Chains A and B, each alone.
Chain A
Amino acid sequence: MKEFIEGSHAIAEVVKSCQPGVISAYPITPQTHIVEDLAQMVSSGELKSQFVNVESEHSAASVVLGGSACGVRVYTATSSQGLFLMQEVVFNIAGMRLPVVMTCANRAISAPINIWNDQQDSISLRDAGWIQIYAEDNQEAVDFHLIAYRLAEDKRVMLPVMVCMDGFILTHGMETVDMPEQDKVNKFLPAYKPLYKLDTADPISMGLLADPDYYMETRFALQETMRESIGYLSEISKEFNNVFGRDYKDLLVEEYQLKDAEKVIVAMGSVCGTIKEVVDEQRAKGKKVGLLRIISYRPFPYARVYEALKDVPKVAVLDKSVSLGAYAPIAVEIKSAFFGKKKGPKVISSFVGGLGGRDITMETIHEVFRRLGAKEVNFDFVDLKPELLKEEYGE
């Protein structure tokens, strides 16, 4: 049913419809509305769940780890510093193959402290072994949570999933969202049947010490499952479309006006909405431009990116994060999709923008298309304010 609803509230509603047994989260801007809503739902009896108010994010992740280990569906949400504080638990959950679902309300990282949106937080945990999918708008943010549980709990997968949504932009943005009805959720998302769990009727030990004779195979297995999940995402997208009538194709990328495009921007998250507006504007003037939106960041769909961009002469990658001392994270992936291949763009330029919540406007995107020329831009920031770089310290 369509509702005009705040992003956070929509997430709380869809999580409620998934009926997790244990919820534990520590408040951090801009995720707070999600957990406050869930607390309200538990207190009113709408949601029969154990809501555990913990004393830090490290414990929030540990609580859901323990709950999931008992074979119960769980939920947590965080951002930025909170995600970093729980980092070792995040790696632990993936290594223990527990199907935890987390909302990451993307926010910039300290220092300096900044509560506004960029994607540095979840991108910095890309090695953890979590599946990461990025929403462009609140409809996707809602739908992706259902898909996340379905994928995570699949017996072939058993990997945790992070649903990433841009903080404030999506969490606090009001949009019209077609909220999934409970009967359809029940149809799409079966009850969780764990492969292994802590049960006094059949005891197991979890989290053992694996010495050099055993450790590497667990990492290989994680990598293999990630690779296989590229196919499962398509499978689950079809199931989702059958039940809800919304088609996310392969859930890996979205091709927007790529046919015969000469210049394409690659980006991830809510900024794609703005890019689509600029693409429409330029197309109306006869310019052959397009957008390739990355949906699944982990596992990264290299083959799909190759297919989509192999005939595009000029590609600009717009990252909302940076790997300091090296290249921008998504740009690196895009470049490596073409290395050693016969076809591919002549130019792949890398731009970083929107850090710390600096607004990426339509003008910014026009500027990116302008700068996407014959000469490759190795790496550059957009919308920089040079007057702020004249600070002087010391004597």
Chain B
Amino acid sequence: MFGPLTVKPKNSKGDKTGSWRTLCRPHYLHKNCIACKMCLMICPEGCVSGKEKNAFSVDYTFCKGCGLCADICPKKDIEMVSEESNSEGAS
């Protein structure tokens, strides 16, 4: 008999940390993106994905709204908008 011992990553879905957002969330303008991938690199959650210009997106199930992606974007193509606003990812 063993009880809770080990976990395989494929069996772990993660906590829905997107529910932590109370103030704001990142809104990708998809206008001036140069696909530098800095937003992808800097996200502490690793929930930014994308390859082509103007085609990067955030997984709002996990995004905590820390704002690092908006801060790092050299083209200011990411805005932190109010969590209440009517854009994609609104809960």
Contacts and interface: CB of A to CB of B under 8 A. Distances in A.
Are A and B close enough to touch in the complex, i.e. CB under 8 Å?
yes
Interface of B: 1-9
Contact of A218 (B5, B7, B8): B5
A interface secondary structure, majority: mixed
A96 B5 contact: yes
Interface in A192-226: 196, 202-206, 208, 210, 214-215, 217-222, 224-225
A223 to B, nearest CB: 9
Contact of A202 (B1, B2, B3, B8): B8
Nearest to A215: B4
Interface of A: 96-97, 158, 196, 202-206, 208, 210, 214-215, 217-222, 224-225, 228
A215 B4 CA distance: 8
Which 6 interchain pairs have the tightest Cβ spacing? A221-B3, A217-B3, A218-B3, A221-B1, A224-B1, A214-B4
Nearest to A214: B4
B interface secondary structure, majority: loop
A221 B9 contact: no
B8 A204 contact: yes
A114 B1 CA distance: 40
A218 B6 contact: no
A41 B5 CA distance: 36
Nearest to A197: B6
B3 A196 contact: no
B5 A196 contact: yes
Contacts, number: 43
A214 B2 CA distance: 12
Contacts of B2: 97, 158, 218, 221, 225
22 contacts: A96-B5, A97-B2, A158-B2, A203-B8, A204-B6, A204-B7, A204-B8, A205-B6, A206-B5, A208-B4, A208-B6, A214-B4, A218-B3, A218-B5, A220-B1, A221-B1, A221-B2, A221-B3, A222-B3, A224-B1, A225-B1, A228-B1
A218 B5 CA distance: 7
Contacts of B6: 196, 204-206, 208
Contacts of A220: 1, 3
B4 A205 contact: no
B1 A203 contact: no
A376 to B, nearest CB: 39
Nearest to B7: A205
A217 B1 CA distance: 10
A218 B9 contact: no
A208 B7 CA distance: 8
A247 to B, nearest CB: 29
Contacts of B1: 220-221, 224-225, 228
Contacts of A215: 4
Nearest to B2: A221
B5 to A, nearest CB: 6
B1 to A, nearest CB: 4
B43 to A, nearest CB: 21
A348 to B, nearest CB: 33
A210 B1 CA distance: 17
Contacts of B9: 203-205
Nearest to A203: B9
A202 B3 CA distance: 20
Contacts of A224: 1
Contacts of B7: 204-205, 208
B56 to A, nearest CB: 27
